[in-house]
Amino acid sequence: MTVTVHTAAALALGDDALVLSHRLGEWSGHAPVLEEEVALANIALDLLGQARILLSMAGDEDELAYLREERAFRNLQLVEQPNGDFAHTIARQLYFSTYQRLLYAHLAAGEGEFAGLAAKAVKEVAYHQDHAEQWTLRLGDGTEVSHERMQRGCDALWRFTGEMFEPVEGVDVDWAELKEAWRESVGGLLRRATLEVPEGPQSGAWTAGAGRQGLHTEPFGRMLAEMQHLHRSHPGASW
Amino acid sequence: MTARQVGSSAEDGAPPGRRAHGDLQELFDETIARDQRIEPRDWMPDGYRKTLIRQVAQHAHSEIIGMQPEGEWITRAPSLRRKAILFAKVQDEAGHGLYLYSAAETLGADRADLTQRLIEGRQKYSSIFNYPTPTFADVGVIGWLVDGAAICNQVPLCRSSYGPYARAMVRICKEESFHQRQGYELLMTMMRGTGAQREMVQDAVNRWWWPSLMMFGPPDEDSPNSARSMAWKIKRHSNDELRQRFVDMTVPQAEKLGVTLPDPELRWNEERGRYDFGTPDWAELKRVISGDGPCNAERVARRRAAHEEGVWVREAAAAHAAKRAARQRKGVAA
């Protein structure tokens, strides 16, 4: 595969959506209420749809999803983080969907090659963000137990948020401005949810942006093993 | 006058007990006889209400437990297209469960209570979901055979005498037949694939065929509730009749697919114009229904765990809603 600026950008955005979709799929049958079975599957399905379009811009979607090894994936470390409890999952959703909505709204307004995809996806992502915000409010400003769990989820994932604003080659956006808008949106929402805005470094597991270079956290390899095993066990088969 | 009008006139302030029980029963019987629908506010015999609550709740539970065997494969689906189809299907099933719990609630049942009954093993769900899905071909076979059997069962329920149930079934059947086609299409793709894929399909068909036939319930002579449910037009056909329809519909599909069905007695009967087939292992069905199937323990344990692990989330949602309402009241007062 020749990695051009175009494919690198499509892979970065596509891998984010693919990996987060997969993590949400792990909730199937485990959600705290039936309505959330529907909602989480719905969000996962939207993300998978985005991933398929983006990966197809970079090559063959199945080859890219199933035959790359860990070091070749370009997703953020944030989206590969294990689900944890429901609050942890919601914190991950809040951080990512806010980022994705701001980014896609910007791309949709431009004339770049991702404008068409972003215009369609931003409507879905607005729903994802609303879902994450509503749950952050419910859990943060719910019971003592839920407040504490929500705070813990926000704190634990905070360090993975810096990498979202490391420039991706081929994605035309003012990253510093994006980060500012993100902090404002997430900060405001956390305060409304009676939560503290975390203060620690946003440096990621290696360095911020390492995921974009194929350096991932340990749980990711296991996730790929599960995701890819059947496809890899039957080389050349169609499904 | 229909039973519905009786219900509303009572609400309009007619003194209670003005209509004798016998009149109500007569109106109910007439409504059923005319193939009209019973609606939530109508008078209905206690037995009718109880039977319906049991059937609709077990139907809802089946949708929810039924998410598990296929949900197993979401994270392992071998192509992104199949993964998207699985996500959509499992999501639909959760939606079907929600419609059906709503239908049960129109009868005075309470969803939380029904859930409790499910996780305590006091209410049942379809026997079929106690079988495991060890290969990806199982996903296709569940679509083809299990959803196929469900459709045979459910299409007549679209004319069930209880309105909310019948209307839920109309929506559900549309989605189910879509799932069934997708399952069959997966199997077609696999049968045109490698030798290993074809073997995987045949193996899955061998494992699911008999359990699918058992989805129609015990044979008619051993199905005590059937006669009453049919008299009330909750159910429109007997177990054996539906089972026969399923076999007649499925055998040509198996031929087209290029798989064999694991029944040496299966053959066309010219005289009847239907297929003859062997006898399912009714002892196995009894075991599975009474909780001793291959996955009963795991299925219920998973549901119970999701429910228990979700307690704090549901409590948070309730607490937040209460706080919001209190703030709103204060705002209005101020």
Q: Which residues of B touch A35 (CB under 8 A)?
A: 98
The pLDDT, as a whole number, for residue B18 is 56
Question: Measured between CB atoms, which of B74, B189, B309 is closest to A28?
Answer: B74
> Residue B155 carries which side chain, given as an amino acid letter?
V
- Token pair, residue B92, equals 């639909």
Contact by Cβ (8 Å): B155, B177 = no
B195 and chain A: CB distance < 8 Å anywhere?
no
Q: Which residues of B touch A151 (CB under 8 A)?
A: none
Contact by Cβ (8 Å): A220, A176 = no
Question: Are B306 and A29 an interchain contact pair (Cβ–Cβ within 8 Å)?
Answer: yes
Half-sphere exposure (CA, 13 Å, Cβ side) for A148? Answer: 4
> Residue B182 carries which side chain, given as an amino acid letter?
Q
Confidence of residue B334 (pLDDT cuts 50, 70, 90): low
A6 or A2, greater pLDDT: A6
Tell whether the model's pLDDT for residue B149 goes beyond 80: yes
Confidence of residue B162 (pLDDT cuts 50, 70, 90): very high
Question: Which of these ranges, A59-63, A67-71, B245-249, B328-332, has the smallest mean pLDDT?
Answer: B328-332
The answer to whether the predicted template modeling score (pTM) of the entire model surpasses 0.90 is yes
Confidence of residue B120 (pLDDT cuts 50, 70, 90): very high
Tell whether the model's pLDDT for residue B328 goes beyond 50: yes
Question: Residues 228-287, chain B: which have Cβ within 8 Å of A?
Answer: none
Question: Are B91 and A45 an interchain contact pair (Cβ–Cβ within 8 Å)?
Answer: yes
The pLDDT, as a whole number, for residue B1 is 39
The pLDDT, as a whole number, for residue A203 is 87
pLDDT tens digits along A196-232: 999 989 887 777 779 999 999 999 999 999 999 999 9
| Surface-to-core class of residue B331, CB atoms within 10 Å of its CB (0-12 exposed, 13-18 middle, 19+ buried) | exposed
B198 and chain A: CB distance < 8 Å anywhere?
no
The pLDDT, as a whole number, for residue B22 is 82
Planar angle of CA B292, B296, B302, nearest 5 degrees: 155
Q: Could you give the maximum distance between any two Cα atoms of chain A, in Å?
A: 53
The pLDDT, as a whole number, for residue A205 is 77
Confidence of residue B126 (pLDDT cuts 50, 70, 90): very high
Report the share of chain B in percent with pLDDT over 70: 94
Q: What mean pLDDT comes out for the span A97-121?
A: 95
**Residue A31: closest CA among chain B residues belongs to which residue?**
B306
Question: Residues 75-114, chain A: which have Cβ within 8 Å of B?
Answer: 85-86
The pLDDT, as a whole number, for residue B228 is 87
Measured distance CA(B199)–CA(B205) in Å, rounded? 10
pLDDT tens digits along A142-195: 999 999 999 999 999 999 999 999 999 999 999 999 999 999 999 999 999 999
Report the share of chain A in percent with pLDDT over 70: 98
Tell whether the model's pLDDT for residue B7 goes beyond 60: no
Contact by Cβ (8 Å): A205, A40 = no
pLDDT tens digits along B265-319: 999 999 999 999 999 999 999 999 999 999 999 999 999 999 999 999 999 999 9
Q: Which of B80, B111, B201 best probes binding to A when mutated, by most A CB atoms within 10 angstroms?
A: B80
Contact by Cβ (8 Å): A227, A66 = yes
SS3 assignment, position B254: helix
The pLDDT, as a whole number, for residue A3 is 65
Tell whether the model's pLDDT for residue A119 goes beyond 90: yes
A236 and chain B: CB distance < 8 Å anywhere?
yes
Minimum distance, in Å, between the CA of residue A177 and any CA atom of chain B: 33
Measured distance CA(B163)–CA(B4) in Å, rounded? 12
Measured distance CA(A178)–CA(A163) in Å, rounded? 12
Minimum distance, in Å, between the CA of residue B63 and any CA atom of chain A: 11
The pLDDT, as a whole number, for residue B178 is 94
pLDDT tens digits along B41-72: 999 999 999 999 999 999 999 999 999 999 99
Contact by Cβ (8 Å): A143, A187 = no
Question: Are B189 and A239 an interchain contact pair (Cβ–Cβ within 8 Å)?
Answer: yes
Minimum distance, in Å, between the CA of residue B101 and any CA atom of chain A: 11
Measured distance CA(B20)–CA(A83) in Å, rounded? 59
